[in-house]
Amino acid sequence: MAKVLMIHPDKCTGCRNCELACSFEHEGQFRPGASRVQAYTWEREGMSVPMMCQQCDDAACVTVCPTGAMHRSNALANLVDWDAGTCIRCKMCTIACPFGNARYDAASSSIFKCDTCQGAPECVTFCPNGALEFVDDEQHVRSRKKAYAAKFKDAFQEVS
Amino acid sequence: MFGWTGTILRIDLTKGKVSREATDPQLARDYLGARGLGGHIVRSEVDPKTDALGADNKIVFAPGPLTGTFAPAAGRFDVVTKGPLNGVLAASNSGGTFGPELKYAGYDALIIEGKSAKPVYLWIKDDQVEIRDAAALWGHTTPDTTDLVRAETDEDAKVSCIGPAGEHLSLIANIMNEMHRAAGRTGVGAVMGSKNLKAVAVFGSGAVKVADPEGFKAAVMKARQMIQAHPVGGTGLRAYGTDVLVNILNQSGALPTRNFQDGYFPTADKTGGESLAAKQLIRPKGCFSCIISCGRVTKVDSPDYKGSGEGPEYETAWAFGADCGIDDLDAITKANYYCNEYGLDTISMGSTVACAMELFERGIITTEDTDGVQLTFGNTAAMVEMVHKTGKGEGFGAKLAQGSYRLAESYGHPEYSMTCKKQEMPAYDPRGVQGIGLNYATGNRGGCHVRGYTIAIEVLQNGAVMDPHVTDDKAGLGITFQDLTAALDSSGACLFATFGIGGAELTEMLAALTGVDYTLDEFMRIGERIWNQERLWNLTAGFTKADDALPQRLLTEPIKTGPSKGHVSRLDDMLPEYYELRGWDEEGVPTEAKLKELAL
């Protein structure tokens, strides 16, 4: 069963535990600049939004990659993976991604994008708010849709 | 180094000079960071008798070793300086994300010394450091300053700044971080103002390194689980914020009311965390690496006090609420927003308004003093108006801006100032909870609850139970809390993590992170060393045993109504034992043997 990372900005508190867990898992140190997920906060509005690779089916980063380094994973469904060995660091993927979710890190000469920790995302483990979930791709919006429908239900109950 | 970055940044505003020095590994081991290491820097470099608002005072921004890691709720830093409100070795602690960013930029501490001839701000981007002109920022509120600085530096810069209150040297001015988190107490904002320093902006791209990654992760997972399983740390604070305490303290008869004239406020429930959650809460907010999320993103809809922002905390809801005889939560929250914008400490602000209200009701001051305002208890509009006046430093506000002690003293009645060492006491009545009174009286920065939060045992029964009305064993309890907190603050952790974990878990995380073979004994000894360091400095600054005191009212005027009716504080029953257990002489001076034992 294929899984996808689902974000819930309404539950995000802006604590950035996801960034810390990600950089620790991938780099063995705490460097938010090396995290594949970023949680941005707008203080005036009191809102925070986590952002990471959407693992697009029709991924621009894969299309533009001249060496095949950015590729759909054979091992895991719903994963766009990056191969350091074949990558020539042309950075085309970072230009092509409409979300800014593939970044080039000069310090490590790497492309930083979410690899879902190969199917066990640490950001999800460390999120204390339920703002990040790793869920079955068939079900992931069903629960959100039903939750919204429940609001309509409550409203109708009140007027009927 | 692991945990620490190994570098301290020094900026001389008089000479416009930037320099760097290595973090001394032995000092880092013995004082950790934040309050401890920052305190050591100030103790070594600032004359205790110097003018806190003079060019010779220094101000240190210091995170702890745990800051910047995923240790739960450990993203904090301290602002350490000679405090202008009362002259102590002051450390004002804040969450937010400024502390971690300073670590990522590469620094264990930022020392700012001297005084700029004109308004400036600092822009620290890793090893690039600039002192920039701040003429265009002067006069702006803290949110506007934050936006303006980001527009000139980096949209993701973390900004620590003062508002108008710090600029006009209000002794209750704070330093605001990312708009909503405060280094609130002891008037640290005025020190920035005195140096013509409007803001510090930081962006860091570096790392905090770990000595034993597997051991650290295991220790962190354990600590997280303990906090998440705790009814306060895991559930209560997220649901209701710190303001959940209003009803708990009122039901204990220890909610100071109308400037400590009473200890019970019948309509307090309207100002509590449950009411806040029902009326104003949008969502919980967490500081960096927080798993507790006590922060409140709030919105007020009522036309008179419409607005949005963060807060109030319990102390704020009390200071502008019960202490001013007010139960209008919308007005309280609005006053909180204004304090954040002007850069004012909400505890000292609210308590100073309460003091002014008592002076007014007693006829000591009149509308001639208050710019025509009927400053009676319960007058919500007057309370909010006083915050504006103080923030701007206009009219009667210029007097309020000096805090309640100087206000009351200027009219010949210092006894109506509810302060210890001239700093306003927070929201726990020492007549209803004996141990907290001892903690206020002996507090190294004056009236303060977060130096030795005995409430955790005396009221909240966190891990142990002690009757709030007895004085037995409270000296030992206070000392344990004071030492544990000094070490915890210095590690970079949040006090609220103790709703779940204790010194053992902090020690375990510190050891795995830094590679230093810390034990719980050494951790507690570090706390004791830091406490004594602050005590020594304060004694040299001129404080004596006579300053280990509570306002006379608390010793002689019993609480009039509620569950603690008839009680007074019995400080004198506890203080001699406290000195003895501390290893201090009868005058409250640390003995030679104690100093030697602590390597001070």
- Model ipTM? 0.96
pLDDT for A160 equals 72
User: At CB < 8 Å, which residues of chain B contact A?
Assistant: 68-70, 97, 100, 104, 143, 146, 178-180, 204-210, 213, 217, 224, 228, 282-291, 293, 295, 297, 308-310
**Average pLDDT value for chain B:** 98
- The b/e string for A89-114 (b: 16+ C-beta within 10 A; e otherwise) is eeebbbebbeeebbbeeeeeebbbbb
**B152 and B258 both lie in a single domain:** no
Mark which residues 69-108 of A lie under 8 Å from B by CB.
107
Distance from CA of A72 to the nearest CA of B (A): 30
pLDDT band (50, 70, 90) for residue B413: very high
B383/B203 Cα distance (integer angstroms): 38
**B60 and B173 both lie in a single domain:** yes
Where a domain ends, among B402, B424, B446? B424
Contact status, residue B141 vs residue B149, Cβ threshold 8 Å: no
Look at strands B197-203 and B120-125 and give their pairing. parallel
Distance from CA of A57 to the nearest CA of B (A): 31
Chain B contacts of A32, Cβ < 8 Å? 100, 104
In a domain, B319, yes or no: yes
A27 and B207 within 8 Å at the Cβ level: the answer is: yes
How many CB atoms neighbour CB B16 within 10 A? Answer: 12
A17 and B284 within 8 Å at the Cβ level: the answer is: no
A16 and B285 within 8 Å at the Cβ level: the answer is: no
Q: Which residue has the tokens 């705790």?
A: B230
Distance from CA of B336 to the nearest CA of A (A): 15
- Specify whether the backbone of B325 is left (phi greater than 0), alpha (psi in -120 to 50) or beta: left
Instruction: Tell whether A29 is within 8 A of chain B (Cβ).
Output: yes
Tokens of A155: 């409203």
Distance from CA of A85 to the nearest CA of B (A): 25
A17 and B70 within 8 Å at the Cβ level: the answer is: yes
Minimal Cβ distance to B207: which of A14, A17, A31: A31
Instruction: Tell whether A130 is within 8 A of chain B (Cβ).
Output: no
Q: Which residue, among B349, B168, B329, has the nearest Cα to B357 in the 3D structure?
A: B349
pLDDT band (50, 70, 90) for residue A147: confident
pLDDT for B216 equals 98
pLDDT for B597 equals 97
pLDDT for B248 equals 97
Q: Which residue of B has its CA nearest to A38?
A: B156
Distance linking the first and last C-alpha atoms of chain B:
24
Residue B546 scores a pLDDT above 80 = yes
Q: Which residue has the tokens 């994963």?
A: A79
Residues B315-356 pLDDT 10s: 999 999 999 999 999 999 999 999 999 999 999 999 999 999
In a domain, B57, yes or no: yes
**B61 and B26 both lie in a single domain:** yes
Residues B248-280 pLDDT 10s: 999 999 999 999 999 999 999 999 999 999 999
Q: Which residue of B has its CA nearest to A28?
A: B213
Percent of chain B with pLDDT over 90: 100
**B475 and B579 both lie in a single domain:** yes
The count of domains in chain B is: 3
Residues A51-84 pLDDT 10s: 999 999 999 999 999 999 999 999 998 899 999 9
CATH number at residue B541: 1.10.599.10
**Average pLDDT value for chain A:** 93
B551/B565 Cα distance (integer angstroms): 18
Chain A contacts of B282, Cβ < 8 Å? 46
Residues B282-309 pLDDT 10s: 999 999 999 999 999 999 999 999 999 9
Instruction: Tell whether A15 is within 8 A of chain B (Cβ).
Output: yes
Minimal Cβ distance to A46: which of B228, B282, B290: B282
Minimal Cβ distance to B207: which of A13, A29, A129: A29
pLDDT band (50, 70, 90) for residue A141: confident
B147/B151 Cα distance (integer angstroms): 6
- A77 half-sphere exposure, CB direction, 13 A CA radius: 8
- B379 half-sphere exposure, CB direction, 13 A CA radius: 17
**B448 and B418 both lie in a single domain:** no
**Distances from the Cα of B110 to the Cα of A16, B13, B171, angstroms:** 23, 13, 22
Minimal Cβ distance to B289: which of A20, A28, A33: A20
Q: How large is the average pLDDT for residues A89-118?
A: 96
In a domain, B223, yes or no: no
In a domain, B131, yes or no: yes
pLDDT band (50, 70, 90) for residue A2: confident
pLDDT for B279 equals 97
In a domain, B308, yes or no: yes
CATH number at residue B306: 1.10.569.10
Residue A140 scores a pLDDT above 80 = no
Residue A139 scores a pLDDT above 80 = no
CATH number at residue B136: 3.60.9.10
Percent of chain B with pLDDT over 70: 100
Minimal Cβ distance to A44: which of B104, B143, B290: B143
Minimal Cβ distance to A17: which of B143, B204, B289: B289
**B580 and B509 both lie in a single domain:** yes
In a domain, B210, yes or no: no
**B26 and B99 both lie in a single domain:** yes
Residues B31-40 pLDDT 10s: 999 999 999 9
Tokens of A55: 């693992």
Q: Backbone phi, then psi, for B327, in 5-degree steps?
A: -125, 20
Minimal Cβ distance to A32: which of B104, B282, B295: B104
B178 and A43 within 8 Å at the Cβ level: the answer is: yes
Interface test with B, best of A8, A12, A15 (most B CBs within 10 A): A15
A46 and B68 within 8 Å at the Cβ level: the answer is: no
Where a domain ends, among B424, B459, B481? B424
A30 and B69 within 8 Å at the Cβ level: the answer is: yes
Q: How large is the average pLDDT for residues B580-589?
A: 98
**B439 and B545 both lie in a single domain:** yes
Domain with B528 in it: 434-597
Q: What is the pTM of this model?
A: 0.97
**B177 and B261 both lie in a single domain:** no
**B199 and B270 both lie in a single domain:** no
In a domain, B21, yes or no: yes
Q: How large is the average pLDDT for residues B427-448?
A: 98
**B483 and B382 both lie in a single domain:** no
Residues B34-83 pLDDT 10s: 999 999 999 999 999 999 999 999 999 999 999 999 999 999 999 999 99
Chain A contacts of B204, Cβ < 8 Å? 33
Residue A1 scores a pLDDT above 70 = no
Q: Which residue, among B250, B234, B217, B417, has the nearest Cα to B322 in the 3D structure?
A: B250
Where a domain ends, among B390, B424, B458? B424
In a domain, B173, yes or no: yes
**B410 and B541 both lie in a single domain:** no
